[in-house]
Each structure stands twice: as C-alpha cells, then as structure tokens.
C-alpha cells in the first residue's frame, strides 16, 4: 500500500500585539524548542562525510599499527607503515577538529535569524539565541522585524516565521512536510501570541474607531438639535443650519481623529522599563474624552 505524505502551511495575522522583551523571549523560546527534535539528525546529516572520513582514517591507523607489530625493526614494510601511521594520525586530528567546527556551524545554522528594518529602509540582521534576540529587539526595534527559524539551515520544509510590524501587527507562519509537527508548533505559538493581544487592539480597527466616533457625534448632535428645537426664539432654519454645520465638522473630526489614533497607536509595541503601552494610554484618553462629551451634552440638556 502506498504511503501518502503531505505538507502543511498555516498563517495567521493579528492586528495588534504588545509585550515586554520577556514576553517576546518566551515566544522565541518556543520557536527554538520546535527544532530540538530535528537538530541532531540535521547535524549528523551535515557532517556524515567527515564522520565517514574519520572512520576510514581510524581503520587505516589500526591497519598500520598491525603492520608495524608484525614487521621487523628495519623492515621496509615497517617504515612504510610508520610513515602511513604518522600521516593518518595527523589527518585524523585535523579531521576531528573539522568535525567539531562543522557540528557547531550546523547547530548555529538552526538558530533564529532576525532582520530588523527601520524607517529609512535599512536592515540589520542578527543570528542568536531567543534571549539575545529578544534583548536586541528591545533596543533596536523601530519599524518591523522578521524572525525566521531555522536561520540558514535547509531542512525538509520545516520553517517558522514571525513578523512584527508597527503598521500591520503580528504575522505567524508555520510550514512543514510533517503535518503533525506543523499543527503542534502552530498551536503552541498561537497560544503564546494570544497572551500579548491587547485590549486596545480595536484602536487599530478603522471601522471600530470611525464607528465609535461617528456614533458619539451622532448622539451629541441629536441632543443639540433637540435642545435647540425646544428652545424658544430659535427659528427652525437656524436649527437646520447648525445641524448641517455640526455634521460637516463631525465628519472631518471623525476622519482626522481616526487617522490620528492610528498614527499614535502602533500595531506592535515592545514595552520598555515597566511603562504602559501607548495603545493603553490612548485608549484611556479617548475613552475619557468621548464619555465626557456625551455626559456634558446630557448634563447641559437636563439643565
């Protein structure tokens, strides 16, 4: 019976994410953990030619030692064997060191790579541990960063990418020829990402911000119009003109405030020094302003 194999690629985008360097470190540690199961097999595959060479050299050394033991002191065969033994031992030492270097290189190629982009199209690339890269992100993150693992190693389809961008949020992509591995990795990473989705994420939603502002202005405008209509001495034509002017001002206010909010609130924020995120501060400020406007109109209407 034929064995059917498949591949899986999963991607999800979040409009906003906020967290400290420690939160980012936890996310990257999960990325590192996903490759622990494939690291040793990858290292063995990348260094198999050196291991084979070491095995051949050890066999040749053992053969030379037998020739020396079985030959006479001044025998030509012994001198040839001694020369071969010296050369093989020297080459074995060099090859063993080459193996150590190759193993380190292979393991390093599995490490996470981070490409930081600033606001002037400059890219800085780092390769390191989850802790090192999380600390670097806290220092140099400006516009966007893409974390990819493995950094430079070629595996059979296994790849994880996490993109953080101040104008678009967080994007997670997991792909593999092993569907079980991809599903498990994506699920664990998704759970960690969700811990950093802020309550103020709606500030990055154009319909939510514009709709909330429009609703607030509509309520305020309606109360003003009703109040003026019930005021003696105010002609209906004046009320209509005031209403039209209010609508005009409100529309421009909705557009301007919505654009301002999206500019003030980054889709991704790495919080430093125990401070609150800008999104939370803006959320609190504008919530207070909207409530104040509505309450002010209501109080004025009642009085």
Q: For residue 144, what are the contacts with CB-CB under 8 A and spacing of at least 6? A: 116, 117, 163, 164, 165, 166, 167
CA distances from 227 to 1, 36, 269 (A): 81, 70, 44
Helix (H, G, I), strand (E, B) or coil at 119: coil
pLDDT in tens, 262-276: 666 777 888 876 666
- pLDDT category at 69 given cuts 50, 70, 90 is confident
Range of lowest pLDDT (46-50, 153-157, 225-229): 153-157
Greater model confidence, 303 or 264: 264
Residues counted in the chain: 303
Greater model confidence, 179 or 227: 179
User: Under a CB-based contact definition with an 8 Å cutoff, are residues 174 and 7 in contact?
Assistant: no
CA distance 212 to 243: 19
pLDDT in tens, 173-206: 998 887 888 888 899 999 999 998 887 766 666 6
């Amino acid at each position: 019976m034929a064995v059917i194999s498949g591949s899986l690629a999963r991607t999800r985008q979040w409009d906003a994410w906020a967290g400290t360097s420690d939160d980012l470190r936890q996310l990257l540690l999960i990325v590192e953990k996903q490759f622990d199961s494939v690291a040793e097999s990858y290292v063995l595959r990348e260094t198999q030619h050196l291991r084979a060479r070491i095995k051949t050299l050890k066999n040749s050394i053992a053969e030379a030692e037998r020739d020396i033991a079985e030959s006479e002191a001044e025998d030509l065969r012994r001198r040839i064997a001694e020369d071969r033994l010296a050369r093989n031992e020297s080459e074995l030492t060099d090859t063993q060191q080459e193996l150590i270097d190759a193993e380190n290189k292979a393991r390093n190629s599995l490490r996470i790579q981070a490409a930081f982009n600033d606001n002037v199209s400059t890219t800085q690339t780092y390769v390191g541990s989850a802790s090192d890269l999380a600390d670097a992100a806290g220092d140099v993150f400006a516009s966007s960063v893409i974390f990819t693992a493995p950094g430079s190693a070629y595996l059979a389809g296994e790849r994880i990418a996490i993109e953080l961008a101040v104008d678009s949020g967080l994007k997670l992509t997991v792909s593999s020829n092993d569907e079980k591995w991809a599903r498990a990795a994506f699920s664990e990473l998704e759970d960690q990402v969700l811990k950093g989705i802020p309550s103020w994420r709606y500030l990055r939603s154009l319909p939510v911000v514009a709709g909330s502002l429009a609703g607030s202005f509509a309520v305020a405008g309606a109360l003003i119009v009703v109040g003026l209509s019930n005021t003696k001495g105010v002609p209906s034509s004046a009320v209509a003109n005031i209403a039209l002017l209010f609508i005009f001002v409100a529309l421009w206010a909705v557009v301007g405030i919505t654009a301002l909010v999206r500019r003030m609130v980054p889709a991704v924020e790495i919080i430093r020094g125990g401070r609150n995120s800008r999104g939370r501060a803006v959320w609190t400020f504008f919530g207070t302003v909207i409530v104040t406007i509505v309450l002010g109109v209501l109080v004025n209407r009642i009085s």
